[in-house]
């Protein structure tokens, strides 16, 4: 799975993303990274296909917070 590098939070040598659960609440998901490809990064483990992750506004969200996710265009053109 490939995700935007800017969605990844690094803290004390660990990598995490904020994911949105079915109740539209923010959860922290620990991931393992593979190689970088431009502005994206390969996730080697930790995320399942179809999981919604937060890419923008990371400074404003906290675990357990209710959000209204909006799709973003990941195709940089």
- Report the distance separating Cα 76 and Cα 9, nearest Å: 21
Domains of the chain, start order: 2-60 (2.40.420.20)
If you average pLDDT over residues 46-75, what whole number do you get?
90
Q: What percent of the chain has pLDDT over 70?
A: 95
Give the residue from 7, 11, 21 showing the smallest Cα distance to 54. 7
Q: How many CB atoms lie within 10 A of CB 20?
A: 19
Whole-model pTM: value is 0.87
If you average pLDDT over residues 32-60, what whole number do you get?
94
Model pLDDT, residue 77: 45
If you average pLDDT over residues 4-30, what whole number do you get?
96
Average pLDDT, the chain: 92
Look at the chain and count its residues. Answer: 77
* Residue 33 near residue 15, CB atoms below 8 Å: yes
* Residue 8 near residue 41, CB atoms below 8 Å: yes
């Amino acid at each position: 799975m490939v995700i935007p590098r800017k969605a990844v939070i690094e803290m004390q040598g660990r990598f995490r993303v904020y994911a949105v659960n079915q109740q539209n609440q923010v959860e922290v998901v620990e991931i393992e990274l593979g190689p970088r490809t431009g502005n994206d990064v390969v996730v080697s483990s930790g995320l399942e296909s179809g999981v919604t992750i937060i890419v923008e506004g990371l400074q404003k969200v906290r675990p357990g917070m209710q959000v209204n996710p909006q799709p973003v265009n990941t195709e940089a053109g």
